[in-house]
Structure 1
């Protein structure tokens, strides 16, 4: 599989740490020390998960290497849907006006990006599609409790879109060489550590330490697995893009893997935790810096627990 192009969309409103200082007395220094976050983006009252996704897709279409009408599969991913019936993917299909193709939306928390791409892999393998649009979008601030001193300050909003083909389309395509995902619901406090129950009070994280500990185990482990499955070692890795949950987690992961901080790609400092869109946004933000032959691993970990890694070669 090949990523033909990738784009992202971020809301314009920037929320600095002083906002949380004013409402719940969390200092800028305290938030930065524990999370690495200095600011994050917040969707406007006129925006939602689907509108952000559509904006990302509109940006993507500016550099699409073939007609949008050749897209024969749309996969949407989010855990913060605007509508649970007219899904994220259907909203995108309506905007694109591409009829009569498979359209699916999924959620595996912050790991949803890789599971969405894995669904594409399955459709391609079965011969049911050859050019897919993957859209990831999370509107965390629609669900969070900003007064929550445990997790209210973590969240940001954003979306990303990726065009993926079964066969190479251009010399600039990124080659998806391997994806490994898994569910770790049997580990620790997986089914209660971080939850979003629509009939309850939004996102809460009663066992953040358990999330931290398991993320620091699973992300480096699956990153090594995906490299080894392709006959590569850590020394062959040029960049690591971990799920943007907490900068301390990211630093722990690269320390475990034994790679220098220069190989870490992170946007949590200025975007906050943008959920399943975070890694795709980071890939889009940095696409111009990647050089031919470089190896990139995207590794994710989400509530539930879910995890995965994907190896991309430029």
Structure 2
């Protein structure tokens, strides 16, 4: 039976020029490079310039994804941006990206699921493309998490950075089997009872301020390993594949210990795990497409490979997606 699936036809990413190393942080926060690397695997993060909003990062990643897909802004008919750090309360980053790209009038909106945002956004865009409602969708994860940091809190400020990643989704015809190219299966979750484990202590309808990120790190770690493993298993079931079938595991780049914990729980071969957290820290919704682009560009992920992606973030939200490149 012939089915229409949404396939990733181009990937791109962007990191701001300003690099902040662990040693840089140690000059004004009570921390050391050794402490950060041992607990997180992070060695540096990128920080956007004061006059460089999230939409600027998103546009650069989008242009690179479009180029990789052999498309231009004129081809776009859907823009979905996953972000928790928008330029403004409104309009959406997606609408600003549309203007900056010079894209035609189309469907454009933001998704807010924090670190899980890219997986959520991909699922939404997949629905449009697979149903024939879009033929060239731009899905972007873009964040400036450094804007939310309390730079006196060493338990959080060392963990996050800024960046953006994007993919182009286009329809392809398949036979309805796991051998098809494109998105094969999803699992999305949220447990609002755990909002107090990872949140920002501000907002327009509460304090009228942006606020700072707060996290109960140990509890988040525990929930992440268990919840992500369950979502990955569910996504594999939805895609009718086995964990052993997966060629590459592209996790949310939050913490190397979490990634290892999930991998161990699932019995994943470490050689199949894409790790980029050392180079850009936790970039929230941007981290999966950043890691995906790295592995595509260096030749590890090739056309036809089965890729599994996962994330967990504030909400708590979490999810996983299986796709064939």
Please give the TM-score of this superposition, normalised by the length of structure 1: 0.92
**Corresponding residue for 1:204?**
213
Q: CA deviation at 1:262?
A: 0.9
Partner secondary structure for residue 114 of structure 2: coil
Deviates more, 1:224-233 or 1:236-245: 224-233
Shift of 1:56: 1.1
The separation in 2 between residues aligned to 1:206 and 1:46, in whole angstroms, is: 28
* 1:125-178 CA distance string (max 9 Å, x none): 55432221111100011121122121011111000111101226xxxx962211
Counterpart residue number, 1:154:
159
Deviates most, 3-12 or 124-133? 124-133
Indicate whether 1:181 and 2:188 are aligned: yes
1:8-23 to structure 2, matched below 5 A, reads 8-23=13-28
Match of 1:294 in 2: 305
CA contact (8 A) 1:299 1:307 kept: yes
- Give 1:279 deviation, angstroms: 0.6
Partner in structure 1 of residue 77 of structure 2: 72
Query: What corresponds to 2:176 in structure 1?
Result: none
- The aligned counterpart of 1:29 is 34
Equivalence for 2:199: 195
- By how many angstroms is 1:67 displaced? 4.4
Q: Name the structure 2 match of 1:123.
A: 128
Question: What corresponds to 2:256 in structure 1?
Answer: 247
Q: Could you tell me which of 2, 8, 11 is aligned with 1:6?
A: 11
Deviations 1:70-103 (A, max 9, x none): 3211111100111121221011110222332111
- State the Cα RMSD in Å: 1.9
TM-score of the superposed pair, with normalisation by structure 2: 0.89
Q: Closer, same or farther in 2 for the Cα pair 1:206/1:9, shift >3 Å?
A: closer
Residues 156 and 215 of structure 2 are in contact (CA less than 8 Å); yes or no, is this contact kept in structure 1?
A: no
Q: Work out the number of aligned pairs and report it.
A: 308
Is 1:237 equivalent to 2:235 in the alignment? no
Among 86, 95, 98, the alignment partner of 1:81 is: 86
User: CA 1:125 to 1:286, structure 2 compared with 1: closer, same or farther past 3 Å?
Assistant: closer
1:145/1:201 contact within 8 Å kept: no
Gap regions ≥5 residues in structure 1: none
Partner residue in 1 for 2:177: none
* Mean CA deviation greater in 58-67 or 91-100: 58-67
3-state SS of paired residue (2:121): helix
CA distance in 1, matches of 2:74, 2:88: 25
